[in-house]
Amino acid sequence: MEKNTEKKIKVLRSNNSREFCNKEFKEFCNKCVIAWKKTNPYTPKQNGVAERMNKTLMERARSMLSGSGLGQEFWAEEVETACYLVNKSPSLALEDKTPQEVWTGKKAFLSHLRVFGCDAYVHVPKEKRTKLDSKSEKYIFIGYKDGLKGYNFWTPVTRKVVYSRDVVFREVKDVIKHEG
């Protein structure tokens, strides 16, 4: 991040889990002049900001799970998408700026945002179809492709994930009126 943003990491707070508490990580922090602060075991309240963000991400992921109708096997994609959206959403703590804007100095681009779990018709390239094959296949939108101008899709037919930007979204699902 330092090379990409020219901003220096000064402090890193972690818990006392094994992936961080080792000689190599300590030497890395010392070499990079990063103050490494550790919390006491089993005290998440010592890292309240991170714990609150974890709660926010899980609440948003749970909401996306409920709205999408997808199973819990997509929890990682839901949390990743929730994080993506948090970074593009205004925050009172940042004076109504987005985390992305504060970090990069550029306003967030929002017109590409889509409804998690919506139907999507992904274009099939000419090279991957015959003359009589359909030019698109139905998929389900499951997030954004990091580092690319594209989206992640999943199909229950082959149970595969594909990445594409050539897509038509169907974000409105049929609403059935239930009278009780």
80-91 pLDDT tens trace:
999 999 999 999
What span, in angstroms and rounded, lies between the C-alpha atoms of 167 and 154? 13
92-118 pLDDT tens trace:
989 999 998 988 888 888 899 999 999
For residue 55, which phi and psi values (nearest 5 degrees)?
-65, -45
- C-alpha distances (whole Å) from 35 to each of 26, 43, 71, 114 are 10, 20, 41, 39
Q: Which residues are 164's β-sheet partners?
A: 151
The pLDDT-based confidence of 77 (bands split at 50, 70, 90) is very high
130-168 pLDDT tens trace:
999 999 999 999 999 877 889 999 998 999 999 999 999
The beta-carbon contacts of 136-142 under 8 Å, at least 24 apart in sequence, are 136/168, 139/167, 140/68, 140/70, 141/114, 141/115, 141/116, 141/117, 141/169, 142/70, 142/74, 142/77, 142/81, 142/116, 142/117
What span, in angstroms and rounded, lies between the C-alpha atoms of 146 and 152? 9
Residue 39 near residue 16 (C-beta atoms within 8 A): yes
Helix residue spans in the chain (DSSP H): 2-5, 23-31, 48-68, 75-86, 99-104
Of the candidates 135, 113, 110, the residue with the CA atom closest to the CA atom of residue 125: 135
| Sign of the alpha-carbon torsion through 136, 137, 143, 144 | negative
Helix residue spans in 69-154 (DSSP H): 75-86, 99-104
